Amino acid sequence: MSYNLIFELGTKVLNQEPLTFEEAMKLTQIDESDIPILLGVANKVRITFTGNQIDTCEIVNARSGSCSEDCKFCAQSAHHDVKIDTYPLMSQDQILQAAKRAESHGAYRFCIVTAGCGMKNDPDFERITESIKQIGSETALERCCSLGILSPDHVKGLKAAGITRYHHNLETSKSFFDKICTTHTYDERIETIKNVKAEGLEVCSGGIIGLGENWEQRVELAFALRDLDVDSVPINVLNPVKGTALEGQSPLKPMEVLQAFAIFRMILPNKILRYAGGREQALGELVPLGFLSGINGMLIGNYLTTTGRGATADLDTVRKLGLKPIAE
């Protein structure tokens, strides 16, 4: 019976023995009626390895739209016809004010995000590093950024400016990546992550579920992240945007989303699994269950081009579950 398997594999993880790929795949095949049991075991793993603190992060879309890349899910791609606000890099003061708002909302980390492939020959890079320095001098926030593909020199510049973590999603598994993006490679993303780690910085890297991938490809992504030893794993759920190549993609069922969270927790027992975009649309009133399925981090407030529940509602949910936002 599948509940016996869940307890067996849960005990293995609690004993600090890593799951094999084959064992993780068995958790994708359990009876639907046993998914709540899996969620409970994943929650026990989360408590055991990471406690009750919730890592909170707020982002700013500091440069929006007109991206050269053809990622099929993305509203900011120039390959798609989506009505969004498009603008150049915000001023240093605008970015600073966004950081101060994030701190007042209860964020522990603040992430500057820019649309585009990466920082090669990008004239905005120096202005971004100046903003990172100013945020460090005027707030107590941990600083992060998401600027696409980086060279080792870019990583050194960001480290000198004061970032402690860099965000760069793998998005999906290597075997599915070319179905999602063709304008750069999966290996380029891996290289950036390795460049960041080589400088001793933390890495925030995850992906999106519901792109059309199968369970094996989701598990493949989780194992790739484990092999890279990333620190924080944002898990987005596709929120299909009209005008993108995936606008007609069928949504995942809520229990499948929660099952995916739990399996990621079993594979990555001591990492930050971060609630990210799409959770409201995918789960609705079941959003709190994510925290009982292994989630121990979250983006609060809004996302890049879509709105969230708001930081107040997010943190209220956390507290009512007996969890503690890390900034408090």
CA dist 239 and 123 (Å) reads 32
- Percentage of the chain with pLDDT > 70? 97
pLDDT tens, position by position, 17-35 = 999 999 999 999 999 999 9
pLDDT of residue 217: 98
pLDDT of residue 301: 78
Q: Is 145 a catalytic residue?
A: no
| Mean of pLDDT over the chain | 93
Q: Check pLDDT > 60 for residue 303.
A: no
Q: Is 71 a catalytic residue?
A: yes
pLDDT of residue 176: 97
| Catalytic residue (one of 74, 226, 265, 279) | 74
Torsion sign over Cα 274, 280, 285, 286: negative
Q: Is 57 a catalytic residue?
A: no
pLDDT of residue 307: 59
Q: Is 144 a catalytic residue?
A: yes
pLDDT tens, position by position, 67-119 = 888 888 888 887 777 777 888 999 999 999 999 999 998 899 999 999 888 89
Q: Check pLDDT > 60 for residue 305.
A: no
Angle between helices 254-267 and 215-228 (to 10 degrees): 30
How much is the average pLDDT of 174-203?
A: 95
CA dist 54 and 314 (Å) reads 11
pLDDT of residue 1: 65
pLDDT of residue 57: 94
| Catalytic residue (one of 57, 63, 111, 265) | 111
